[in-house]
Structure 1
Amino acid sequence: MASSPQPHANEPTPTLGRRRIGVPALVFMIIAASAPLTVVAGGVPTNFAVTGLLGVPLSFIVLGAVLVVFSIGYSAMSQHVHNAGAFYAYISLGLGKPIGVGAAWVALMSYNAMQIGIYGLFGFALSSFAGGVAGLEVPWWMCALAGWAAVGILGVNKVDLSAKVLGVLVALEFLVVVIYDVLAVRTAPEGMSGAPLEPTSLFAAGVGAAFAFSIAAFMGFESGAIYSEEVKDPRTTARRATLIAVVVIAAFYALSSWAMAVGEGPSQVLARSTEFGPDLLFVFLGEHAPKWFVDLSALLFITSLLAALVAFHNVVARYFFSLGREGVLPRVLARTNPRTQAPAAGSLTQSVLALMLLIVFAVAGNGHEAGPLFPVLTLFTWLTNMGAFGLVLLMALTSVAVVGYFRRNRHDYGIGTRTIAPIIGAIALITVFGLIVAYFDVLIGLSEPNVLSWLLPAIILVPGLFGTAWAGWIARNRPDIYAGIGRGADIGDGPERGRVSDNEPSVNQQ
């Protein structure tokens, strides 16, 4: 049974498990959210096919550089602001509490959309695997429910258990992709080629769509700061893990997509990607590797999705916890498991939301003309792109918030960290967000605009407007709660609660 939240200032503030996550574990948790095998097997061929550009590998390098610049100010701020609702806290302290609460609602919608959407591909992949390997006909929604149960169990347990599970799964994913890369480079029917890395192969018609597709591969890297209350060293762990994860993700995806282009042949990869889509990697392995390895790779593709589900579930649970602790949402959401100190109420809330949407899509997909692909074409495609839409917007706002925060709290950083890098990051991320808006129809698989073109983005953005209005109501009617917005574990600790000191290394330092 979860412990009760503490609504009064003179009572202990609900906290998460302390000092449990080190740099390696956090890196694995960040990378797990990006689902490496899923991106290489599914995202990269789709990018090649839809954009018709050979320069997809270069897009990962460019975006990696953008996110490294973004991370300079973001990771510096993470040393001083320790809050499980990272974007919410950063924007509240940098741009003002009303915008911060609005951002919190956008973050909840975006992360939930990303997490729940992945169930569509997970259910389809597990159902197909059961049919192909064991000859079992299991509906996608039943497979999705099996994953839902596993995620729910991990969500209410110690965070280091999730870290260990994700560490194993991510390591196996990397191993499969590395083997694929080696086989692809060894095969190279047209020889080694640097064409996929040439600027002219990327910066042509369709480059906007390429960036819009590729940025989705990085979603989740920003979650390092969300675990800042649970890491071993709040001032360094999240910062180091975030920078390491960005570099590893960018380099790994650039190398693997280049290997795919070389393995198929630069003159053939676009046509082969169009023909086979997300099956391209497995078709290649079927031609060059033993059957048992192909089956193992297909199984690890499924566990890759499971790892991403767990990672995003943990993020959502901590957002609910943070907002409940500060009274922005009902305080019951701040309840933690007394044994594991996991955000039990937030975890259960996310599980209930996921279950409700799974039921809706299971009913809607019954007898649908799309057949077995229904959960991929709808639940997965719609919701994950909605999530990416919202998260890129939040990253852009966070870059601007970093400038605002360090203008009032300079600490010992130079102008590059405090101002120049965040501004460059903001401009680049606003540009990427604009590309996502421009190519949103393409991202969700529409041949021409329809009601989904504006409805899906509206589902992400409109709650943000309500959140901003809600912050105004709190300011007028609950000034005590309003004063603690964005302060994290400091609220409820007496008359000095919520205070940010220019002289202290952290607003939450215990």
Structure 2
Amino acid sequence: MSPGTSHTRAATSTSAASSESSEINTYKGQDRALRADRLGTAGLLLSVLAASAPLMVVAGVMPTAFGVMGMLGQPLLYVILGVVLMLFGVGYAEMSRHVHNAGAFYAYIARGLGPTAGAGASYVALVAYSAMQVGIYGILGFEISGLMATHLDLTVAWWIPALAAAALVAVLGWLKIDLNARALGVLLVIECTLVVIFDVAALTDPGPEGVSFAAFDPGTLAGAGLGTALCFCIAAFIGFEQSPVYAEETSRPQVIVSRVMFLAVGFVALFLALGAWALTVATGPGAVVEAAAEQGPGLLFSLTETRLGGTFTDVLHVLFVTGMFAALLSFHNVVARYAFAMGREGLLPAAFGRTSSASGAPATGSLLQSAVSVLVVIAFAAGDGLPAGDPTTPVLRLFTWMGNVGALGVILLMAAASFAVIAFFARRGAARAQAWRLTASALAGLALVGIAVYTVKDFDVLIGAGPGSSLNWILPGIIGLALVAGLLYGVVLRTVRPEVHARIGLGNEAFQLERAAERGEPSADS
């Protein structure tokens, strides 16, 4: 054999080995994998920020929090919650360096607290994110219906544009995730820019009390409504924790995922604190609660009308709609990936664990979420008396009910994930090396448990129901039912199919473990 031939064969062998190691495999083959290298830092950041729907928060959530809770210190609340979630992110980000799984929350909980706990968390995550996504169809349909009545003199029931949006989201959900990221990014950048323009306008043309920092006075947080306000405002941050869901589709998950989480939390805290403060400055700290109670979501648009003109306000209305659509698409992508991870690991039928050969998207999971969305919208539409319907249904029922159910589920998942991080590193003998991160996780976990308790306690206020309403236990019970169902299924798997139970949370690593077992090699944990 000539030296040249030997060199060529060696190079070929090296290339083949490199190709094999770079593939994303699962224990059931390449079609059970999400496509890698689809997202970089910018694409992932825009995808997760889109779920926060910044303009929807400023126009919809903030006036409600001012008007219903009567708490002036909302800007300070966003700063406090930003600190709590940064503490949460310290351990969560470190976990993301060790576990790359589209199941994110439930995978982390499974690796820290055990596969059965992970099974329970998986069903909570699936239901919570699905509820949040479906709820947005209500406020989106309501807003589009209003715009058509105002500008086109057309009377269209809210559920018609809601179903049209569901159809469009279904189509986009089948496309490549990098294409979705570009669409989300353009919409997000434009809406954030317009809100910042309003912030500047409010500070340069303040209300009768001038530029006041009263909203940052800790004394404004005193009162019985603090717990409820915390529950209400933390929902505005939901989205940042989704970055590990896309870990398998990023180029360098061990770096990009943690970087995006901190950037997202920092941006959202700063953006929302500034936006809420601008509302208090524009109306005056002494008048913002009354104005928000009277005008609701119309508060922002009335303030931009007087300062920036009708054209700017009309554009803002349109961006309000596109921002909600971006949030719909972002949540849809997350639910589809949770369903994919669960199907891959035996927590859902195997069909959910397959990807589209054309785009690499989790096609069956995407189809499931589209079907759920359509059915829920139709159910709420039928319940409000077709065709005109009850105008309170899309916002005060569909959006508010489902949004708070989803927020409760995500808060519980974040609390459980905080303690799972501690268990994960402690069981591997790394507690001392990771001491400061585990301390941060413990503090965040305790704070999140407190917020969850307040959420359940004050659920009647959050959904606008009376103290004796059965909705106060039925709606939180949806999350409880999902948890119990998941835990019971985990117990069944442990008894009947222990090999499937053992794989919960492992994702792609299960393939490597099985291949090592076939070769008689020791596992990484042994």
Instruction: State the Cα RMSD in Å.
Output: 2.0
In structure 1, which of residues 266, 289, 304 is the aligned counterpart of residue 285 of structure 2?
266
2:332 equivalent to 1:313: yes
Asked if the contact 1:13/1:492 (under 8 Å) is kept, the reply is no
- State how far apart, in whole Å, the 2-side matches of 1:8 and 1:160 are: 22
In structure 2, which of residues 36, 51, 56 is the aligned counterpart of residue 33 of structure 1?
51
Tell me which residue corresponds to 1:346: 365
1:346-401 Cα distance to aligned partner (Å, 9 max, x none): 00011011111111111112259973232111111100100001110110000000
Aligned residue pairs: how many? 498
Q: Counterparts in 2 of 1:56-455, with a 5 A limit?
A: 56-189=74-207, 190-366=209-385, 371-410=390-429, 414-455=433-474
- State how far apart, in whole Å, the 2-side matches of 1:417 and 1:153 are: 45
- Normalized against structure 2, the TM-score is what? 0.91
1:47-103 Cα distance to aligned partner (Å, 9 max, x none): 011111110000000000000000000000001100001011000010011111001
- State how far apart, in whole Å, the 2-side matches of 1:468 and 1:223 are: 23
The alpha carbon displacement at 1:239 in A equals 0.2
- State how far apart, in whole Å, the 2-side matches of 1:52 and 1:500 are: 57
2:489 equivalent to 1:466: no
Q: 1:241 to 1:8 in 2, by over 3 A?
A: closer
- Normalized against structure 1, the TM-score is what? 0.94
Task: Decide which moves more: 287-296 or 87-96.
Answer: 287-296
The alpha carbon displacement at 1:299 in A equals 0.5
The alpha carbon displacement at 1:502 in A equals 5.4
- State how far apart, in whole Å, the 1-side matches of 2:163 and 2:368 are: 16
Q: Match of 1:173, as an amino acid?
A: E
Q: Match of 2:182, as an amino acid?
A: K
The alpha carbon displacement at 1:290 in A equals 2.1
The DSSP-based 3-state class of the residue aligned with 2:346 is coil
Larger helix percent: 2
Asked if the contact 2:425/2:431 (under 8 Å) is kept, the reply is no
Asked if the contact 2:203/2:211 (under 8 Å) is kept, the reply is yes
Q: 1:292 to 1:491 in 2, by over 3 A?
A: same
The alpha carbon displacement at 1:204 in A equals 2.7
The alpha carbon displacement at 1:266 in A equals 0.7
- State how far apart, in whole Å, the 1-side matches of 2:26 and 2:393 are: 48
- State how far apart, in whole Å, the 2-side matches of 1:150 and 1:368 are: 22
- State how far apart, in whole Å, the 1-side matches of 2:308 and 2:152 are: 20
Asked if the contact 1:410/1:418 (under 8 Å) is kept, the reply is no
1:167-198 Cα distance to aligned partner (Å, 9 max, x none): 00110110110111111112212111111001
Tell me which residue corresponds to 1:479: 498
The alpha carbon displacement at 1:412 in A equals 9.5
Looking at CA atoms only, which structure, 1 or 2, has the larger radius of gyration?
2
Asked if the contact 1:130/1:137 (under 8 Å) is kept, the reply is yes
- State how far apart, in whole Å, the 1-side matches of 2:136 and 2:267 are: 22
Tell me which residue corresponds to 1:507: none
- State how far apart, in whole Å, the 1-side matches of 2:258 and 2:67 are: 36
The DSSP-based 3-state class of the residue aligned with 2:254 is coil
Percent identity at matched positions? 43
The alpha carbon displacement at 1:203 in A equals 2.9
